[in-house]
Amino acid sequence: MSETLPASADVIVVGAGNAAFCAALAAAEHGVSVLVLERAPENEAGGNSRFTAGAFRCVYDGVDDLRTLMPDLTDEEVANADFGTYTEEKFFDDMGRVTEYRTDPDLCEILVKRSKETMLWMRDKGVRFMPIWGRQAYKIDGKFKFWGGLTVEAWGGGPGLVDALTKIALKTGIAVAYGARALSLVADDDGVKGVRVRHNGRTVDVKAKGVVLAAGGFQANAEMRTRYLGPPWELAKVRGTRFNTGDAIKMALDIGAMPTGNWSGGHAVGWDRNAPEFGDLAVGDNFQKHSYPWGIMINANGERFVDEGADFRNYTYAKYGRVILMQPGQFAWQVFDNKIIPMLRDEYRIKRVTKVRAETLEELVKKLDDVDAVAALRTIKAYNNAVMTEVPFNPNVKDGRGTRGLSIPKSNWANTIDQPPFEAYAVTCGLTFTFGGLKIDTSARVIDTDGAAIPGLFAAGELVGGIFYFNYPGGTGLMNGAVFGRIAGGSAGKRAGQMPGA
Ligand SMILES: Cc1cc2nc3c(=O)[nH]c(=O)nc-3n(C[C@H](O)[C@H](O)[C@H](O)COP(=O)(O)OP(=O)(O)OC[C@H]3O[C@@H](n4cnc5c(N)ncnc54)[C@H](O)[C@@H]3O)c2cc1C
């Protein structure tokens, strides 16, 4: 768009990630003008959504649903795959279990029940999807078997998703301003009337009949991290965009919005110990190291500290980042032997990886930087002796191949570490996004501290609180942003369309 911002738009959307674009597209369906404000320059725009693998957790009741969503699926691909199902019941169960039944029941119900139709809505808008052949399926007897309820990804991953949404928005007549940082909300007793924006070095007020906040969490703000998540979260690395510094949460709280949800919680994973402070789009999510369920993790004291095989990776990875952060020195080494090395996920084979390799365990433990090598060797040997080798290893199910007699058990996929060569990978905590945020109702209206909706203010995506607590089922962030982005945009567009002068 031109160098200057318009004086007004019917609906302003703050942010240009997945939730924001879904909101913008839904608002535009009401025939109103829509302006998207993105703080980042164009080449860094797209927020965390751009950093993702583009995986969406959505309900499907069988292969027919998937064929409807992904018409490009060939008969041969269908014949060679066992997609199973991911029913509403399974999605509910997963959300309940991983959030320890704290998820807001009304919002969770909407997330689950509208996931399928929202995916089809996105497809109708022009976003293309495909099965996650690589990461979520194993080939058994020549057939890809999908597991963990996560089956669909956007073409081209996160970058492909953001590019597609941006193109569709522009084609729809939605204006997108880059380098436009929302500073505060223009509001009075009647509600929100616009946004104060810093753009090209100037501060201007842009009027609007409705504003959708979709500007992400506060994970890239070290001060807020320490204040809300506590120490030593200022020492965590940020996996994604440097621009999600909690601006929109703060500007909503400033006009009386209600904070809600798990303010001391966040989604955090094992992340390369030497990764940069913020995400790097050239590497995307490949600094993550998610094959730990097949191996063990050792801390600076040379000890194991968590049940690496407690559940499928999808259900543990988002909470184990915190566990690693709480270890001495905020790091751990993941250890594997030659039986598992060929099975390691692709992210273990990137160039920018902190890795050591050795032919003996004695040699390996000496190479683990900052680790008590004697204790590490003792730990590996005790672990090897404890493995229930009589139970067969099966990566596709929780195989019950655990350990016996260890103070920290490993419940599944316990493989002995005894076949050279051995490899170890150093990880620290990578924070993905924060869980605390704004309270919304089922129409995505922002609720104030008295429990009333703030007229003209809507919110979606990472900055909404109350949906995720403690943990998160992989692929739900994009689905959550899409479902509530669509609802928020629809609510804002409808309201603006009914106001005079629309
Ligand atoms: C490495 C990585 C991998 C991930 N993989 C997946 C995955 O495969 N599947 C999944 O479901 N989730 C994944 N996630 C989580 C997912 O990225 C988020 O849940 C989701 O993208 C959040 O979308 P959003 O639209 O709410 O926020 P974002 O996509 O982060 O968009 C927020 C936007 O707001 C802008 N902004 C911030 N402040 C302002 C301001 N003051 N004014 C204007 N604009 C502002 C930002 O620049 C940004 O563009 C991953 C995250 C990371 C970091």
Measured CA to CA, the distance from residue 45 to residue 23 in angstroms comes to: 16
Distance in Å, CA 54 to ligand 1 centroid: 11
Residue 120: predicted pLDDT: 98
Measured CA to CA, the distance from residue 29 to residue 19 in angstroms comes to: 16
Side-chain-side CA neighbours of 197 within 13 Å: the count stands at 30
The response to whether residue 219 sits with its C-beta less than 6 Å from ligand 1 reads: no
Rounded to 5°, angle at Cα 96 from 264 and 131: 100
Long-range Cβ pairs for the range 82-90 (8 Å, 24+): 82/143, 82/144, 82/145, 82/146, 83/131, 83/146, 83/151, 84/145, 84/146, 84/147, 85/60, 85/61, 86/57, 86/58, 86/59, 86/60, 86/149, 86/151, 87/59, 87/61, 88/59, 88/112, 88/113, 90/149
Residue 3: predicted pLDDT: 72
User: Could you tell me the two tokens for 263?
Assistant: 């303010």
The response to whether residue 481 sits with its C-beta less than 6 Å from ligand 1 reads: yes
Q: Please give the C-alpha separations between residue 316 and each of 111, 411, 424, in angstroms, as whole numbers.
A: 21, 13, 20
pTM, to two decimals: 0.93
Diameter of the chain by CA atoms? 76
| Residue nearest to ligand 1 atom 27, measured at CA | 216
Measured in degrees and rounded to the nearest 5, phi and psi for residue 362 equal -60, -45
Pick from 113, 221, 108: nearest CA to 466: 108
Residue 135: predicted pLDDT: 66
Q: What is the mean pLDDT of residues 118-136?
A: 92
CB atoms within 10 A of CB 180: 24
The response to whether residue 162 sits with its C-beta less than 6 Å from ligand 1 reads: no
Measured CA to CA, the distance from residue 390 to residue 299 in angstroms comes to: 28
The response to whether residue 266 sits with its C-beta less than 6 Å from ligand 1 reads: no
Taking the CA of residue 477 as reference, the ligand 1 atom at the shortest distance is 19
- pLDDT band for position 1 (cuts 50, 70, 90): low
Calculate what percentage of the chain has a pLDDT beyond 90: 90
Is there a contact between 66 and 489 (Cβ–Cβ < 8 Å)? no
The response to whether residue 465 sits with its C-beta less than 6 Å from ligand 1 reads: no
Distance in Å, CA 45 to ligand 1 centroid: 10
Residue 502: predicted pLDDT: 52
β 259-260/437-438 pair status: antiparallel
CB atoms within 10 A of CB 25: 26
Per-residue model confidence as pLDDT tens digits over 416-452 = 999 999 999 999 999 999 999 999 999 999 999 999 9
Residue 428: predicted pLDDT: 98
The response to whether residue 437 sits with its C-beta less than 6 Å from ligand 1 reads: no
Radius of gyration of the chain (CA): 23
* Residue among 14, 50, 52 whose CB has most ligand 1 atoms within 8 A, to mutate: 52
Residue 264: predicted pLDDT: 97
Distance in Å, CA 324 to ligand 1 centroid: 23
Distance in Å, CA 416 to ligand 1 centroid: 39
E-strand stretches of 437-490? 437-438, 445-447, 453-459
Residue 147: predicted pLDDT: 72
When the pLDDT of each residue in the chain is averaged and rounded to a whole number, the result is: 95
